Amino acid sequence: MKLLNTVQLGSYTLQNSMAMAPMTRSRANADGVIGDLTVLYYTQRASAGLLISEGINISEQALGSPFTPGIYNEAQIEAWKKVTQAVHAQGGKIFAQLWHTGRVGHSVDKKGELPVAPSAIGIQGQEHFTAQGPKVYETPRALETAEVKQIVQDYKQAAINAMEAGFDGVELHAAFGYLPNQFLVESANQRTDEYGGSIENRSRFVVEVMQAMVDAIGAGKVGIKLSPSIPYNNIIDSNPTALYTHLITALDAMPLAYIQLMNALFPTDALPQYPRDVLGTFGPLTQHLIMANGGYSRETGEQELEKGIAKMVSYGVLFLANPDLPKRFELNAELNAADNATFYGGGEKGYTDYPALS
């Protein structure tokens, strides 16, 4: 099976071509510090070729959902060291997914501060999960140009902190409607400065963040996650093909570890400009390793690798429910079913109590 073959990722030789996709689990404490259960959770799944952590807030401002972890102070960094040491002891590799949620948040979880965004445009037709239950989205505060440049530096510092914590690299979460994704698209970015308007300007924030992180931690240690055909969180663009073609071409000049591309997970019948075949449209544009994400099974993941565009496949829910997923794929063994009710928050139930094969 190609899924079980080793693969080269930067300077790292990974034990298989399967990644554990980043998944928010909301099990940090109120200060964004993870505990021993999180150490166990990642250790159980260290047979993945690459573990990608849940989204980790790069700053206090970055936080969108309660009980999500950070990497911007010493207590948070020290806690993540226990995870990386345990994963490495099992022979695994782990990247930190760096997260700024932008407007996908609520002031009740941000000490009364409004969420920030490229423009003062709120998310319509959805509610946000908060510590006080579901709430309608607020209109975010538009960032000043100097603040945008500071957030670029916050990402750079978070990448440095991640390496201090023992991570093997970092991934920029530029997908699914979070801050970098908000800068990219017209529906969320109506700025008139150097970060708004043209495709080049709307891509500038992501390009600057990626360059800053590469400069800080080196070649082959920075990846990015993109969702060119996902309109969730009111992410709409008139020409996503031109937008992501420009962005991926710009990223090609950098010595990145990989580009993780999410498939179109939502119906896009009302958005005919959105490409259905994300891997086929954007994968051939880059020299970088492509990681495919979104709804794969054992069979469809293998088929994706057979096509030759993607060199890795990342699995979310299947890894959540099956800590030994590579072994189960190898044996074609039965899979545990995931319990949706325990995805977010809580303790060991639905987190560290999924059984491995005996």
Contact 189, 148 (CB under 8 A): no
Catalytic residue among 72, 137, 178, 244: 178
Nearest to 98 by CA among 188, 169, 204, 44: 169
Neighbours of 353 (CB within 10 A): 11
Residues 6+ apart with CB under 8 A from 59: 70, 72, 100, 151, 154, 158
Burial class (CB in 10 A: 0-12, 13-18, 19+), 275: middle
225: helix, strand or coil: strand
Round to whole Å and give the CA distance between 93 and 225: 18
Contact 324, 109 (CB under 8 A): no
Neighbours of 315 (CB within 10 A): 25
Round to whole Å and give the CA distance between 81 and 149: 29
**What φ, ψ does residue 148 adopt, rounded to 5°?**
-60, -45
Longest dimension (CA), the chain: 59
Burial class (CB in 10 A: 0-12, 13-18, 19+), 349: exposed
Compute the radius of gyration of the chain from its Cα atoms.
19
315 is catalytic: no
Round to whole Å and give the CA distance between 258 and 169: 11
Bridging pattern class, strands 7-9 and 12-14:
antiparallel
- Kindly state the DSSP code that residue 70 receives in the 8-state scheme: B
CA angle 185, 191, 195 (to 5 degrees): 75
Give, for 315, the enclosing helix (H) or strand (E).
strand 312-315
The catalytic residue positions are 178
